[in-house]
Amino acid sequence: MLIFEKGAPGRKAHSQVPGSNAELDLPQDLLRQDKAALPEVSELQVVRHFTNLSRKNFSIDTQFYPLGSCTMKYNPRGAHRAASLPGFLARHPLAPESHSQGYLSCVYELQEVLKEVTGMAGVSLCPMAGAQGEFAGVAMIKAYHEARNDHARTEIIVPEAAHGTNPATAVMCGYKVREIPVKQDGDVDLEALKDAVGPQTAGIMMTNPSTCGVFERQIEEISKTVHDAGGLLYYDGANLNAILGKVRPGDMGFDVLHMNLHKTFATPHGGGGPGSGPVAVGERLLPYLPTPIAGCAEERGEKRYHWLDDDALPESIGRLSAFMGNAGIILRAYVYAVLLGREGLHRVGEYSTLNANYMAKLLENAGFKLAYPGRRATHEFIVTLNKQAKELGVTAMDFAKRLLDYGYHAPTTYFPLLVPECFLIEPTETESIEELEGYVEAMIQIQKEAEDSAELVTGAPFTQPVRRLDDVKAARELDVAYRKPEAENQ
């Protein structure tokens, strides 16, 4: 039942209404004539409705959630508590620097941490999500070439395994996209890359480890090939968790990257956001970083923090939001870095990789087919259920839905697109061995069901608030907003 269908005309949450019926000193023809059809409910009705809705969700706090490429690790409560301190919540984004030293110091220190872990020369925390970070990164590549009057560079190269955001971003920056193939072993086809680069190449967008769940071993050759052609290297930080503390994008030869703080720095995913997608750059791209950025100066032996705006960075690609990105997420990521410290950040890459390799091995031992056997798993790996689909008529989607009945969130399914019937599984470092084994056990059970009584799998889920939904009807008979039934409208 919808919140609109609860309540009654005239009912209200009395203590939330300020009790003002002040006249509006405004012209009549600019005033609203009808009432906005918002719910009319009591405070308890609201609390109960939304509490009950929350119970219809899977979440990290309630279930193992190994969604590949999304890094669904534990979101520390301490980070949330600290970012919710009243002084931080009440700070206006345009408050003067005299009343912003606390917040600015956190922003500045996080910039420094991110520079170190990525091996880059400068950081801007402005982008509000990974896709906006990608946009900022490619816009900086464009600004760099334009500043050199190199207008012939009209193409961005993207390996076919890339996230959909990569080609979409390149187009948003006015580039043409050239896709290059990936080889059987998951590495980029270097010969195809060599054929693809030229004076038209603005840059390449890559994820490393790639979305195939393996580390791109030829990264130095790729870097040399693209740089020799005059292009720049963009690092999509979606999989940074795999290598945190182990290898830095700056050392691999990347010129610019974005990070997903909601992945690698453990900020909550919030049912689809907010994220935060800071960008880091090497020396060449420093002048183009999006604004504002926090700066620091010593004043009479005391650190004073300030904003660097487009006055200070005249060549910046500019602003990406009204203020400065998802500040509250930035605070949570800062706290995460403070809690982990140097040693803890090293362990992120190590234990996420250990967990993925363990799960991959258990599944392989149980007879599941890995997409890249013989390769090390990174923080994630791919299982292909192509055989099950062909021989048993049970698809990756069916396995995914049946996993829900076992109390596990499904992995990422059907991505990357080049592996048929695939599961991209990312356990993260915060899961215990018991969870990993439980998940593998569920996969084994589902395999048995697929062989013996396939309808248990193809008809799943059975235990969720709804069974499989009619997506075709959803798109054909579009219903995207509630409307009161006609009879009640009179």
Q: Which is nearer to other proteins, 189 or 350 (CB)?
A: 350
Q: How far is the CB of 120 from other proteins (least distance, A)?
A: 12
Closest contact distance (angstroms) between CB of 196 and other proteins is 15
State the DSSP string of 297-351.
Answer: EEETTEEEEEEE-TTT-TTS---SSSSSS-HHHHHHHHHHHHHHHHHHHHHHHHH
Residue 293, beta-bridge partner list? 308
Nearest approach, Cβ of residue 376 and other proteins (Å): 5
- 343 exposure class (CB count in 10 Å sphere: 0-12, 13-18, 19+): exposed
- Record the tokens describing residue 289, joined without a space: 């970083």
Q: Which is nearer to other proteins, 57 or 387 (CB)?
A: 57
Q: CB of 415 within 8 A of CB of 238?
A: no
Quick one: tokens of 422? 């695939």
* CA–CA gap between residue 203 and residue 226 (Å, rounded): 7
How many whole angstroms separate alpha carbon 42 and alpha carbon 21? 20
> How far apart are alpha carbons 5 and 40 in whole angstroms?
9
What does DSSP say about strands 381-384 and 369-370: parallel, antiparallel, or unpaired?
antiparallel
Nearer to other proteins, 87 or 485 (CB): 87
Q: How far is the CB of 475 from other proteins (least distance, A)?
A: 5
CA angle 103, 238, 125 (to 5 degrees): 20
Q: What does the radius of gyration of the chain's CA atoms come to, in whole angstroms?
A: 25
* d(C-alpha 380, C-alpha 477), whole Å: 38
Task: Output the CA–CA distances (angstroms, integers) from residue 412 to 184, 395, 422, 423, in the order listed.
Answer: 21, 14, 8, 6
- Comparing CB distances to other proteins, the nearer of 106 and 197 is 106
Least Å distance between CB 189 and other proteins?
18
What is the bridge-based pairing of β-strands 279-281 and 122-124? antiparallel
- Of residues 426 and 449, the one with the C-beta less far from other proteins: 426
Smallest separation (angstroms) from other proteins to the CB of 366: 12
Residue closer to other proteins, measured from CB, 12 or 387? 12
Q: Kindly tell me which of 220 and 391 has the beta carbon lying closer to other proteins.
A: 220
Minimum distance from CB of 306 to other proteins (Å)? 14
State the minimum distance, in angstroms, from the CB of residue 205 to other proteins.
11
Cβ closer to other proteins: 179 or 189?
179
